[in-house]
């Protein structure tokens, strides 16, 4: 839809702090209403996006390999990992709970990694493929972002509750730290990506990139 | 050129539109990328303030009372949100306790406090001291406030433990459920309308 009027055509810019439309000729660096810095494009969106995404991928390994909690019941101790928790519910017949935990702790991070990588690669190539769908994909990643914190909350609550001396205790284990880091880092990755890059056409990119750094 | 406040820029693709008033339950969408530009705001300042004060009361209940209590062979133990944060803070994983504390305790407290402050002044028709900073804080805090995730987490924890021992949901859990829904409603994106109202 090339008939849309773009912000650059009118020399205006959206303030991400308050949603005000700001005239760049009036004030080029600060929003006149709330004082937040103005960016026509976010700073280094692609480099930052990749950096956070790779860091998250690295942490994803210990998050799944290391145990997330240790259960001691009547003298017997056992460590459990994220995948182990899902299996436990599945084998116990609670397939619905297993599904919720599977989606939140394995599905959502995997979808996020794939989607962010796809968005970053296509934005890097200035592709004009499926722009509308990629915009929707970005909003979806933004929306599901923090639901992976579910596991951290479950482990924290369960460990806080099960402190029955002599009978049973549950303690958190380092896996949960890495798991939480994956969630936080993918959130940062999505926040540093600029969805407006999806719509920049190759010809406009050159003239726009000069203003992107401020 | 038309006045700038009549224009709205799509945050996802930079297309520019004229603002038009919306009816109840309507939202304006970008024709280019499909993103939501803005929604109809059905809450007045008074209603927002009332809901924020309610949120403050719920916040006290959610933090002061245990979320759950478990019992087994006569021994019982209960946990509040703060206990859940503290159990993670021991040992080498302290960092995640900070993230959790922000997500389920500090971000909601700050959101409610800032909302009450800003709306209290807005009721009398003027901007609160530090208005711009407060509004920016609300924008920054939104992605880190995760009470609704905590609510689902509490439900999963109930089911996880129910097979092993007796689990009794506490007052904290009910307050948590109400507060998480209320925060989505009252601290959402359309709080930006205040810029035009005061």
CATH number at residue A136: 1.20.140
A152/A174 same-domain check: yes
Taking the complete model, does pTM exceed 0.90, yes or no? Answer: no
Domain count, chain A: 2
A119/A163 same-domain check: yes
pLDDT of residue A96: 84
Residue A5: domain span: 1-38
**Helices (DSSP H) in A125-174: which residue ranges?**
131-144, 150-161
A174/A98 same-domain check: yes
A18/A111 same-domain check: no
> Measured between alpha carbons, how far is B115 from B127 in angstroms, rounded to an integer?
12
> Measured between alpha carbons, how far is B62 from B175 in angstroms, rounded to an integer?
5
Residues 6 or more apart from A37 whose CB is under 8 A from it? A29, A30, A31
Q: How far is CA A102 from CA A1, A182, B22, in A?
A: 39, 16, 40
A110/A185 same-domain check: yes
Whether A184 shows a pLDDT value over 90: the answer reads yes
Residue A11: strand, helix, or coil: coil
Q: Which residues of B touch A101 (CB under 8 A)?
A: 156
A69/A141 same-domain check: yes
pLDDT of residue A211: 40
pLDDT of residue A205: 47
Instruction: Report the gap between the CA of B78 and the closest CA in chain A (Å).
Output: 6
A149/A164 same-domain check: yes
Q: Considering only residues 92 to 131 of chain A, which have any Cβ-Cβ distance to chain B shorter than 8 Å?
A: 92, 94, 97, 100-101, 104, 131
Q: Would you call A35 and B132 a contact, using CB atoms and an 8 Å cutoff?
A: yes
B154 touching A, CB under 8 A? yes
- Band (pLDDT 50/70/90 cuts) for residue A212 is very low
> Average of pLDDT values for A140-169?
87
A33/A129 same-domain check: no
pLDDT of residue A202: 67
- Band (pLDDT 50/70/90 cuts) for residue A2 is low
% chain A with pLDDT above 70: 93
Closest among B156, B2, B68 to A105, alpha carbons compared: B156
Give the nearest partner residue to A5 out of B16, B34, B164, using CB atoms: B16
Chain-centroid distance, C-alpha B145: 6
pLDDT of residue B75: 86
A33/A83 same-domain check: no
Q: Which residues of B touch A8 (CB under 8 A)?
A: 14
A30/A47 same-domain check: no
- Band (pLDDT 50/70/90 cuts) for residue A213 is very low
Residues 6 or more apart from A181 whose CB is under 8 A from it? A56, A59, A63, B95, B96
> Measured between alpha carbons, how far is A72 from A171 in angstroms, rounded to an integer?
8
- Band (pLDDT 50/70/90 cuts) for residue A203 is low
Q: Would you call A174 and B5 a contact, using CB atoms and an 8 Å cutoff?
A: no
Q: State pLDDT tens for residues A71-84.
A: 888 778 888 888 88
Category of B95 on φ-ψ map: left (φ > 0), alpha (ψ -120 to 50) or beta: alpha
Closest among B136, B145, B155, B11 to A34, alpha carbons compared: B136
Instruction: Report the gap between the CA of A164 and the closest CA in chain B (Å).
Output: 7
A48/A99 same-domain check: yes
Q: Which of A16-20, A71-75, A109-113, A123-127 has the highest mean pLDDT?
A: A109-113
Q: Which of A85-94, A149-158, B49-58 has the highest mean pLDDT?
A: B49-58
Residues 6 or more apart from B106 whose CB is under 8 A from it? none
Q: How far is CA B49 from CA A55, B109, B118, B122, B159, in A?
A: 41, 15, 9, 9, 36
- Band (pLDDT 50/70/90 cuts) for residue A16 is confident
A107/A208 same-domain check: yes
Mean pLDDT estimate for chain A: 85
A204 touching B, CB under 8 A? no
Nearest CA in chain B to A167: B72
Instruction: Report the gap between the CA of A195 and the closest CA in chain B (Å).
Output: 5
pLDDT of residue A130: 85
pLDDT of residue B2: 60
pLDDT digits (tens), chain B, 198 positions: 467 778 888 989 888 898 888 888 888 999 988 888 888 877 888 999 999 999 999 999 999 999 999 988 888 899 999 999 999 998 788 999 999 999 999 999 999 999 999 999 998 888 889 888 899 899 889 999 999 999 999 988 888 888 778 899 999 999 999 999 999 888 887 888 888 777
> Measured between alpha carbons, how far is B19 from B28 in angstroms, rounded to an integer?
9
């Amino acid at each position: 839809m090339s008939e849309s009027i773009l912000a650059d055509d009118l020399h205006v810019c959206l303030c991400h702090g308050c949603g005000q439309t700001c005239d760049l000729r009036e004030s080029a660096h600060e929003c006149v209403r709330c004082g937040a810095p103005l960016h026509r494009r976010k700073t280094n969106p692609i480099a930052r996006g990749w950096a956070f995404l790779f860091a998250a991928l690295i942490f994803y390994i210990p998050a799944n390999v290391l145990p997330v909690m240790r259960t001691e019941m009547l003298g017997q101790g056992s460590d459990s990992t994220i995948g182990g928790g899902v299996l436990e519910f599945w084998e116990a017949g609670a397939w619905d709970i297993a599904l919720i935990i599977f989606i939140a702790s394995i599905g959502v991070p995997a979808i996020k990694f794939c989607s962010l990588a796809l968005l970053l690669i296509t934005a890097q190539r200035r592709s004009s493929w499926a722009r509308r769908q990629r915009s929707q994909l970005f909003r979806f990643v933004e929306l599901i972002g923090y639901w992976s914190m579910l596991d951290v909350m479950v482990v924290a609550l369960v460990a806080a509750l099960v402190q029955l001396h002599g009978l049973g205790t549950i303690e958190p284990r380092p896996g949960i730290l890495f798991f939480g880091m994956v969630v936080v880092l993918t959130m940062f990755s999505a926040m540093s990506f600029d969805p407006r890059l999806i719509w920049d056409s190759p010809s406009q990119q050159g003239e726009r990139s000069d203003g992107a750094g401020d | 050129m038309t006045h700038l406040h009549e224009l709205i820029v799509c945050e996802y693709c930079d297309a520019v539109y004229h603002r038009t008033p919306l009816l109840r339950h309507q939202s304006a969408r970008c024709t280019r990328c499909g993103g939501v530009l803005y929604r109809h705001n059905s809450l007045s300042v008074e209603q927002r303030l009332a809901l924020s004060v309610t949120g403050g009361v719920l916040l006290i209940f959610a933090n002061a009372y245990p979320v759950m209590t478990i019992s087994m062979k006569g021994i019982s133990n209960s946990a509040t949100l703060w206990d859940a944060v503290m159990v993670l803070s021991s040992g080498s994983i302290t960092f995640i306790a900070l993230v959790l504390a922000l997500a389920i305790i500090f971000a909601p407290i700050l959101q409610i406090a800032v909302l009450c402050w800003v709306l209290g002044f807005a009721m009398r028709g003027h901007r609160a001291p530090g208005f711009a900073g407060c509004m920016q804080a609300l924008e920054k805090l939104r992605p880190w406030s995760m009470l609704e995730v905590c609510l689902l987490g509490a439900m999963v924890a109930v089911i996880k433990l129910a097979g092993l021992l007796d689990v009794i949901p506490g007052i904290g859990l009910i307050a948590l459920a109400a507060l998480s829904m209320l925060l989505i409603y009252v601290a959402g994106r359309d709080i930006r309308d205040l810029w035009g109202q005061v």
